[in-house]
């Protein structure tokens, strides 16, 4: 079934940051890690952290001396922080920066003698943390009746709010406070994450028949999303995991929307979307069967073979080599072998990143390993027919691929865990593609090798590295869970996006210069700028969550090399 996913579904940036800190701490720690209370309002994430040896510590107690303690996004009061420090625990502070900003406002004005009024929910951990910073006194306002009970105050008054409340539901309280304390300094400290998600649901609900809301049942903002969907005219259900999905029930609806609360991890949303997409749609007809068929071909890396084949055609044209069907077949078989072998050997992260693909590989692992071996032998045989040097090059690449896929470590060399080097997977994959698509033609046709061949190699290297980087951006949560050290994890998502953007700009500049300077055939060089532009479009679509959760994300990204090959064929 087809799914329309809300672009704002899932973690707000403060919660995502807190989970990243907790997971990074767990991956680096040699002993147990604790969180000061449940890290987020999502029981599945709390259970996941427990599997990673991250345990919930009683907020009224203290962790064991020498332990690692992560402060959740809600923050804590100075008094609690002092108590925790006295326990001897090392503290990793994951307080949301917006919450910390409220702490700063209260502390600054309280030290100047101002009385603090906090708008929020009684008993909420964020509110309790705020009150600890009010050295000149504070009162909590949970509704209009609390405003009426506030004492008169002629001195300074500062008004702040719990960051997670919805201003639309508290506007009348703010008006009443301004009337009671005209001298009050009003600070809008509300994060708009909750309001933005609700507003998108209001716009999305009229266009769907059923809204599936993903998140913990103990999360107030998640329950509110389901209420908003119903108020907007759609039927809505709230589920915590994909296991709660009833296929027969969902098949009653033609259009399905999915959203999630600000405490719902991306991997849980993806599991739900994948599960719904796997349900046959009785109304879809031929288009639905085509969509399911394409997803199966994508999971089995058959579409990747087409990508490699057409990418080889493009590299041969750009490098000025004769078109060789043998080299095209070598590229398709070799890339299929390496990618399938890697997936079969380690698909732990796919359980979070692409659960349907992980299930596919679990069920068909034997057949896929056999197909991978056959493809590898076929590529080597064809490579030997081209030239002995080509066969040796391919064999060396296969050894490196096996080394990487099986995570074999050269400990005798004393160089540590090579595979923990940041971006090792992206670089190994990119090198394999570049050698197979762009450098093998130079080995097969040494008399035609020249500057155009290097342009072709840079073209393949740039597009494949972009592909690997974009997939790592999509899979960052699952990769962090299993302890991978990809570029987005090491450098951050924004920095990785900037690097990928600069990479595409540099690649376009190289193609332009090679066409102008005559280093490569001008028609091919000019034409290859179009796939680079498409890559930029795919990153734009990813950042706006048009790409990222569906079963054909990789196929959509791979269109850059498919497009390049088709342009080369039409030239």
pLDDT tens, position by position, 10-54: 888 899 899 999 998 988 888 789 999 898 888 888 888 888 889
Confidence band of 418 (pLDDT split at 50, 70, 90): very low
Conformation bin of residue 237: beta by default, left when phi > 0, alpha when psi is -120 to 50: beta
Q: Is the pLDDT of residue 256 over 50?
A: yes
Determine the distance from the C-alpha atom of residue 321 to the mean position of all C-alpha atoms in its chain, rounded to a whole number.
39
The answer to whether the CB of 27 falls within 8 A of the CB of 68 is no
pLDDT tens, position by position, 88-115: 888 999 999 999 999 999 999 999 999 9
Distance CA 538, CA 535 (A): 5
Angle at 472 between CA 466 and CA 476, to 5 degrees: 150
Q: Which of 126, 128, 277, 554 is catalytic?
A: 126
Q: What is the DSSP letter of 438?
A: I
Query: Is 195 among the residues known to form the active site?
Result: no
**Predicted local confidence at residue 567, as pLDDT:** 95
Q: Is the pLDDT of residue 413 over 60?
A: no
Region of poorest pLDDT, from 60-69, 448-457, 463-472: 60-69
Which tokens is 530 given? 């179009």
Q: What would the DSSP string read from start to end of 179-198? A: HH-TTPEE-----THHHHHH
Q: Is the pLDDT of residue 211 over 90?
A: yes
**Predicted local confidence at residue 545, as pLDDT:** 78
**Best-predicted range by mean pLDDT among 39-53, 306-320, 345-359?**
306-320
């Amino acid at each position: 079934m087809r799914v329309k996913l809300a672009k704002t579904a899932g973690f707000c940036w403060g919660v995502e940051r807190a989970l990243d800190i907790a997971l990074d701490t767990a991956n680096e720690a040699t002993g147990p890690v604790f969180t000061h209370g449940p890290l987020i309002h999502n029981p599945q994430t709390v259970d996941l952290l427990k599997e990673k040896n991250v345990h919930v510590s009683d907020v009224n107690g203290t962790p064991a001396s020498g332990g690692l303690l992560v402060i959740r996004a809600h923050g804590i009061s100075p008094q609690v922080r002092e108590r925790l420090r006295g326990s001897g625990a090392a503290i990793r502070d994951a307080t949301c920066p917006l919450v910390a900003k409220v702490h700063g406002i209260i502390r600054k004005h309280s030290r100047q003698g101002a009385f603090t009024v906090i708008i929020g929910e009684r008993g909420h951990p964020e509110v309790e943390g705020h009150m600890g910073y009010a050295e000149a006194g504070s009162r909590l306002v949970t509704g209009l009746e609390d405003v009426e009970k506030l004492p008169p105050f002629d001195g300074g008054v500062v008004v702040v709010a719990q960051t997670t409340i919805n201003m639309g539901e508290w506007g009348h309280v703010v008006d009443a406070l301004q009337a009671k304390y005209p001298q009050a300094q009003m600070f809008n400290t509300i994060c708009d994450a909750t309001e933005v998600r609700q507003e998108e649901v209001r716009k999305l609900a009229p266009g769907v028949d059923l809204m599936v809301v993903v998140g913990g049942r103990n999360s107030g903002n998640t329950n509110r999303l389901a209420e908003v969907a119903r108020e907007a005219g759609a039927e809505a259900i709230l589920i915590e995991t994909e296991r709660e999905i009833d296929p027969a029930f969902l098949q009653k609806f033609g259009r399905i929307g999915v959203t999630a609360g600000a405490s719902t991890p991306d991997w849980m949303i993806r599991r739900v979307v994948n599960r719904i997409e796997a349900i046959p749609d009785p109304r879809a007809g031929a288009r639905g069967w085509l969509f399911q068929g394409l997803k199966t071909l994508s999971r089995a890396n058959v579409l990747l073979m087409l990508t490699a084949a057409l990418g080889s055609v493009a590299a041969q044209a750009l490098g000025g080599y004769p078109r060789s069907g043998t080299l095209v077949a070598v590229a398709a078989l070799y890339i299929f072998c390496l990618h399938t072998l890697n997936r079969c050997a380690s698909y732990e992260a796919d359980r979070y990143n692409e659960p349907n693909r992980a299930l596919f590989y679990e069920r068909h692992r034997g057949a896929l390993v056999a197909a991978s071996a056959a493809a590898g032998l076929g590529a080597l045989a064809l490579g030997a027919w081209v030239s002995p040097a080509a066969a040796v090059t391919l064999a060396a690449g296969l050894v490196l691929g096996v080394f990487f896929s099986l995570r074999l470590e050269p400990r005798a060399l004393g160089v540590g865990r090579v595979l923990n080097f940041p971006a090792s997977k992206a670089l190994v994959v990119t090198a394999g593609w570049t050698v197979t698509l762009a450098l093998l033609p130079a080995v097969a046709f040494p008399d035609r090798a020249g500057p155009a061949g290097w342009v072709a190699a840079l073209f393949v290297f740039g597009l494949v590295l972009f592909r690997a980087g974009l997939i790592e951006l999509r899979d960052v949560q699952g990769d962090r869970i299993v302890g991978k050290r990809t570029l987005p994890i090491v450098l951050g998502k924004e920095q990785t996006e900037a690097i990928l953007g600069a990479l595409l700009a540099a690649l376009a500049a190289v193609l332009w210069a090679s066409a102008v300077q005559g280093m490569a055939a001008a028609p091919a060089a000019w034409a290859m700028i179009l796939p680079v532009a498409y890559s930029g479009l795919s990153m734009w679509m990813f950042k706006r969550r048009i790409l990222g959760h569906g079963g054909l994300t990789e196929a959509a990204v791979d269109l850059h090399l498919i497009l390049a090959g088709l342009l080369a064929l039409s030239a």
